[in-house]
Amino acid sequence: MSGHSHAKNVQHKKNAIDKKKSAVFGKLLKAITVSARSESNPEFNPTLRSAVDKAKQYNIPSDSIERAIKKSSEKDASQLEELTLEAYGPEGVAILITAITDNSNRTIGEVKTILKKTDAKWAEPGSVLWAFAKNNNEWTPKFPQNISAENLQKLNNLIENLEDNDDITNIITSAKK
């Protein structure tokens, strides 16, 4: 029974978990870098404070957080920009996508491709934003909407495809869960 050793099974499971952790770590550290551009002290920057708190929830090492804050003052960090993208999903569900990228044209193109493949529609800036309220740097839907189980599955598939993109940091929908 070659290839069925306990060590190989553990290795495959660990690699899958590490890949997911790496993606989350990268997204959170990018968010910290962008948040620290205006003020690098979390006591005076609520956006940075919430990003650092979220990173600590995921057990990101303190030295990695500090490096991300220091990186915000370097030249490379000024190339990063935060995007808020809007779309409509199944049954007209409003979708708000936030991303941090060094190339907005690439990220927008990738998001549009994902939306097209999953039968979602790109929305012009401001056409979906009205359906969400921002409280403490978190977006919440003003009017949660019920959708069918079939369309909820389509929406979850869309969200999974969007989350696979390294630049996308958050996806909020108006669908009731």
Task: Please tell me the predicted confidence (pLDDT) of residue 138.
Answer: 81
Query: What's the token pair of residue 166?
Result: 């390294």
CA max distance for the chain: 60
113 three-class SS: helix
Per-residue pLDDT band for 6 (boundaries 50, 70, 90) equals confident
Task: Please tell me the predicted confidence (pLDDT) of residue 165.
Answer: 86
pLDDT at 1 over 60: no
pLDDT at 122 over 70: yes
Topology classification of domain 6-78: Arc Repressor Mutant, subunit A (1.10.10)
38-63 pLDDT per residue, tens = 788 888 888 888 889 988 998 888 88
pLDDT at 173 over 80: yes
Over residues 101-127, the mean pLDDT reads 91
DSSP 133-160: EEETTEEEESS-B---HHHHHHHHHHHH
Q: Report the alpha-carbon distance of residue 51 to residue 28 in Å, rounded.
A: 7
pLDDT at 158 over 90: yes
State the pTM of this model. 0.67
User: What are the structural domain ranges in the chain?
Assistant: 6-78, 81-173
10-31 pLDDT per residue, tens = 887 888 787 777 778 888 888 8
pLDDT at 2 over 60: no
Task: Please tell me the predicted confidence (pLDDT) of residue 172.
Answer: 92
CATH superfamily of 81-173: YebC, transcriptional regulation domain (3.30.70.980)
Task: Please tell me the predicted confidence (pLDDT) of residue 77.
Answer: 52
Q: Report the alpha-carbon distance of residue 135 to residue 165 in Å, rounded.
A: 25
Indicate the Cα dihedral angle 42, 38, 167, 173, nearest 10°. 70
Q: Report the alpha-carbon distance of residue 102 to residue 77 in Å, rounded.
A: 9
Alpha helices in the chain (DSSP H): 6-35, 46-57, 62-71, 75-78, 104-117, 149-163
